[in-house]
């Protein structure tokens, strides 16, 4: 029986706006996308980014001298309720994802800030200037914090059988997500003579505990994991049969300033342009991969077969390539590059 032939999909190019990229904000552009895919992918990514990305937060505290969230604390200006509200705004970066503890002890007149908290080694405090309380001359504030990881929002987990806890612990609502805001726009873009393709512009704002690149990587991993369980047979190899737009239009004149949507000069540059670590760079050079075009024409399996080149180095290369709008498996032929360079010279 003859194998069924499928129509290829347009392969989008992903690029980050380097001028705007910070630890808390990133703008990504994905183009060209099949007509209608901009809204589909934008909505899916936005929903997962807002509610499905893992983070860490304070879920309970023990405040010395206080046994419930409505009490007052002698020598501290803020009552327990206001103090808990301030604690909710502590931003924690968790290096391992494991639970942890933090401790605050401030005596005498002054302002207690997040910077005064001592945390476990795998926990890092981000908003160190955030004010927790104001303390009088004879006051003291002693708090033990309990940090957990999770996704989305989690209501305070009060035990159902006790109003007051034996250890005076106060449980807190937690917002685990490091993503604060996600916006996307869909515009039309051109591929050759066709003008109906989509361009997705995705803007991600985080709280600083995670950067936009990492939260997007996490969200895409979640989406891919969930969708693959809907398949009832082998995946259709669209990555193998699809190509960059200009490759599919070999009979059309090639634009002089681009190839596969990527700058001609960029493809011809050495791999040093990716600013890789010494280990990853040397592995590529030793394998004879000296130019960017040599790298983008490989697939991930081929790269992993390079001697001493592991998964960590692969992820590093992929991140660097994405920032320049590149990806593996672009299949740009040497003849196409030479033709484009010759056209530019003329």
CATH topology of domain 9-50+178-231: Gyrase A; domain 2 (3.30.1360)
How confident is residue 341, by pLDDT bands cut at 50, 70 and 90?
Answer: low
pLDDT in tens, 23-55: 999 999 999 999 999 999 999 999 999 999 999
For the domain 54-175, what is the CATH code? 2.170.120.12
Q: Where are the domains of the chain?
A: 9-50+178-231, 54-175, 246-346
Q: What is the 3-state secondary structure (H, E, C) of the chain?
A: CCCCCCCCCECCEEEECCCCCCCCEEEEEEEEECCCHHHHHHHHHHHHHHHCCEEEEEEEEEECCCCCCCCCCCCECCCHHHHHHHHHCCCEEECCCCCEEEEEEEECCEEEEHHHCEECCCEEECCCCCEEEEECCCCEEEEEEEEEEEECEECCCCCCCCCCCCCCEEECCEECCCEEEEEEEEEEEEECCEEEEEEEEEEEEECCCCCHHHHHHHHHHHHHHHHHCCCCCCCCCHHHHCECHHHHCCCCCCCCCCECCECHHHHHCEHHHHCCCHHHHHHHHHCCCCEHHHHHCCCHHHHHCCCCCCHHHHHHHHHHHHHCCCCCCCCCCHHHHHHHHHHHHC
Q: Is the pLDDT at 247 greater than 80, yes or no?
A: no
Q: Is the pLDDT at 2 greater than 80, yes or no?
A: no
CA distance 196 to 194: 6
Tokens of 216: 């997007």
Selected residue with higher pLDDT from 183 and 233: 183
Q: Which pLDDT belongs to residue 131? A: 96
Are 255 and 25 spatial neighbours (Cβ–Cβ below 8 Å)? no
How confident is residue 243, by pLDDT bands cut at 50, 70 and 90?
Answer: low
Q: Is 256 exposed, middle or buried (0-12, 13-18, 19+ CB in 10 A)?
A: middle
Are 66 and 75 spatial neighbours (Cβ–Cβ below 8 Å)? no
- C-alpha distances in angstroms, 110 versus 37, 75, 131, 332? 55, 11, 11, 64
What architecture (CATH level 2) is domain 246-346?
Answer: Orthogonal Bundle (1.10)
In percent, the amount of the chain with pLDDT more than 70 equals 91
pLDDT in tens, 149-207: 999 999 998 888 777 788 889 999 999 999 999 999 999 988 877 788 999 999 999 99
169 — phi, psi (to 5°)?
Answer: -70, 140
pLDDT in tens, 67-87: 888 888 888 999 999 999 999
Mean pLDDT score, 246-268? 52
Mean pLDDT score, 232-246? 74
């Amino acid at each position: 029986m003859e194998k069924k032939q499928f129509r290829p999909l347009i392969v989008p190019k992903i690029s980050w706006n380097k001028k705007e990229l910070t630890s808390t904000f990133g703008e990504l552009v994905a183009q060209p996308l099949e007509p209608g895919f901009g809204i589909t992918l934008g909505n899916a990514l936005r929903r997962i980014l807002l509610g499905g990305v893992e983070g860490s937060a304070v879920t309970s505290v023990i405040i010395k001298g206080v046994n419930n969230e409505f009490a007052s604390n002698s020598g501290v200006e803020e009552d327990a309720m206001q103090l808990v509200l301030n604690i909710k705004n502590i931003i924690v970066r968790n290096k391992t994802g494991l639970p942890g503890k933090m401790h605050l002890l401030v005596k005498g007149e002054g302002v207690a800030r997040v910077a005064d908290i001592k945390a476990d080694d795998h926990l890092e405090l981000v908003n160190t200037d955030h004010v927790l309380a104001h303390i009088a001359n004879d006051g003291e504030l002693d708090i033990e914090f309990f940090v957990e990881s999770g996704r989305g929002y989690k209501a305070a987990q009060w035990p159902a059988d006790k109003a007051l806890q034996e250890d005076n612990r106060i449980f807190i609502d937690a917002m685990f997500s490091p993503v604060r805001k996600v916006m996307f726009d869909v515009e039309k873009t051109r591929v050759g003579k066709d003008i109906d393709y989509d361009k997705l512009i995705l803007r991600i704002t985080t709280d600083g505990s995670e950067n936009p690149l990492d939260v997007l990587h996490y969200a895409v991993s979640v989406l891919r994991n969930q969708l693959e369980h809907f398949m009832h047979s082998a995946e259709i190899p669209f990555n193998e049969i699809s190509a960059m737009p200009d490759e599919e239009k070999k009979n059309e004149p090639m634009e002089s300033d681009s190839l596969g949507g990527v700058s001609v000069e960029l493809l011809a540059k050495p791999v040093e342009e990716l600013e890789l670590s010494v280990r990853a760079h040397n592995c590529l050079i030793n394998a004879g991969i000296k130019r960017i075009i040599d790298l983008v024409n490989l697939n991930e399996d081929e790269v992993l077969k390079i001697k001493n080149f592991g998964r960590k180095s692969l992820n590093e290369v992929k991140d660097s390539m994405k920032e320049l709008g590149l990806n593996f498996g672009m299949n740009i032929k040497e003849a196409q590059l030479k033709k484009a360079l010759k056209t530019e010279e003329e």
